[in-house]
Chain A
Amino acid sequence: MEKDIILFVNAIRPATFEALQMYQAQTGRRFKPIVLVDTTIRHSITARNGQAYAKSDLLVLSADFTSAASIRAALGPYMHRIFAVTSQYENSVNELKKLIPYLPYLATPTEKSLEWATEKKHMRQLMEAYDRTLIPQYCEVTDASDKTVAKICETMSFPLIVKPSGLEGSLLVSMVTTKAELQDVLTRTFIAIQGAYDKWIKRQIPAVLVEEFMKGDMYSVDTYVSARGTCVHTPPVKVITGRKAGFDDFFGYIQRAPAGLPPEELEKAYDAVERACRAVCLRSVTAHVELMRTEDGWKIIELGPRIGGFRHEIYAKTYGINHIVNDILNRGGEAPVIPTAIRAHTAYLNIYAREEGVLAAVSGLDAVKRLASFQFMKQCAYVGEEVLFAKNNGDPVYQLCLSNESEAVLEQDIANVERSLRLMVEQPEEYLRQKADPIPF
Chain B
Amino acid sequence: MTTFKNAYSIASDPGRDIALFVNDFYPEFVTALEKLSTKLGRPLRGITLVDKKVKRQRQATSGQDNSSEEIVLDFSNQAEVREAIRGIEDNVLLLVCGADANQPYLKRLLPHLPYVLGPTETSLDWATNKSKMRAMLASYDRSLVPNNITVAGATDKDIADILSCISFPMIIKPTGLASSTLVTRINNERELRNELARSFELIHDIYARDGGRGDPRMIVEEFMVGDMFTTDVYVDEVGHTWATPLLRSQTAYALGMEGLGFSIFRSDNYIELSQEDVQAGLCTAEKAVHAVCLRSSVAHVELYRTEDGWKIIELGPRAGGQRQDIYELGYGIDHAYNELLIKIGHEPEVKAELLKYVQTVNIYAEEEGTIMAIDGIEEMRQYPALSHLRIFAEPGTKAESSTNGGKVLADCLVTAKDYEQLERDADAVRSILRITIQKAGTQTVTKARTLGKR
Chain B residues with Cβ under 8 A from A226's Cβ? 4-6, 8
A228 with B8: CB separation less than 8 A: yes
Which residues B272-322 have CB closer than 8 A to chain A?
Answer: 293-295
Contacting residue for B119 out of A104, A126, A227, A230, CB 8 A: A104
Known: A68-B135, A72-B140, A110-B120. A232 touches B1 (CB 8 A): yes
Chain B residues with Cβ under 8 A from A126's Cβ? 78-79, 82
The residue on B at minimum CB distance from A70 is B139
A279 and B86 CA atoms in complex are apart in Å by 9
Q: Does B2 contact A (CB under 8 A)?
A: yes
A230 and B115 CA atoms in complex are apart in Å by 10
Which residues B1-50 have CB closer than 8 A to chain A?
Answer: 1-6, 8, 10
The residue on B at minimum CB distance from A73 is B139
Chain A residues with Cβ under 8 A from B80's Cβ? 129
The residue on A at minimum CB distance from B136 is A68
B97 to chain A, nearest CB (A): 15
Q: Does B376 contact A (CB under 8 A)?
A: no
A233 and B1 CA atoms in complex are apart in Å by 7
A101 with B5: CB separation less than 8 A: no
A104 with B78: CB separation less than 8 A: no
A133-141, A194-202, A237-245, A329-337 - interface stretch = A329-337
The residue on A at minimum CB distance from B2 is A231
Q: Does B238 contact A (CB under 8 A)?
A: yes
B110 with A110: CB separation less than 8 A: yes
Contacting residue for B4 out of A72, A100, A335, CB 8 A: A335
A105 and B10 CA atoms in complex are apart in Å by 17
A112 and B82 CA atoms in complex are apart in Å by 13
Contacting residue for A72 out of B139, B237, B295, CB 8 A: B139
Chain B residues with Cβ under 8 A from A100's Cβ? 120, 122
Q: Does B111 contact A (CB under 8 A)?
A: yes
Which residues B102-129 have CB closer than 8 A to chain A?
Answer: 110-115, 119-123, 126
Known: A105-B238, A110-B120. A128 touches B114 (CB 8 A): no
Q: Does B215 contact A (CB under 8 A)?
A: no
A112 with B123: CB separation less than 8 A: no
A101 with B120: CB separation less than 8 A: yes
Chain B residues with Cβ under 8 A from A338's Cβ? 1
A147 and B110 CA atoms in complex are apart in Å by 38
A320 and B416 CA atoms in complex are apart in Å by 71
Which residues A97-124 have CB closer than 8 A to chain B?
Answer: 100-102, 104-105, 108-113, 116, 122
A268 to chain B, nearest CB (A): 13
B139 with A229: CB separation less than 8 A: no
Q: Does B83 contact A (CB under 8 A)?
A: yes
Which residues A197-244 have CB closer than 8 A to chain B?
Answer: 224, 226-233
Interface residues of B (CB under 8 A from A): 1-6, 8, 10, 78-80, 82-83, 86, 110-115, 119-123, 126, 135-136, 138-140, 237-239, 293-295
A-B contact pairs, 30 of them (CB 8 A): A68-B135, A100-B120, A100-B122, A101-B122, A101-B293, A104-B120, A104-B123, A105-B237, A109-B114, A110-B111, A110-B114, A110-B120, A111-B120, A112-B110, A112-B121, A116-B111, A126-B82, A129-B82, A130-B82, A224-B4, A230-B4, A233-B1, A233-B2, A270-B2, A279-B82, A281-B82, A281-B111, A282-B114, A335-B6, A336-B4
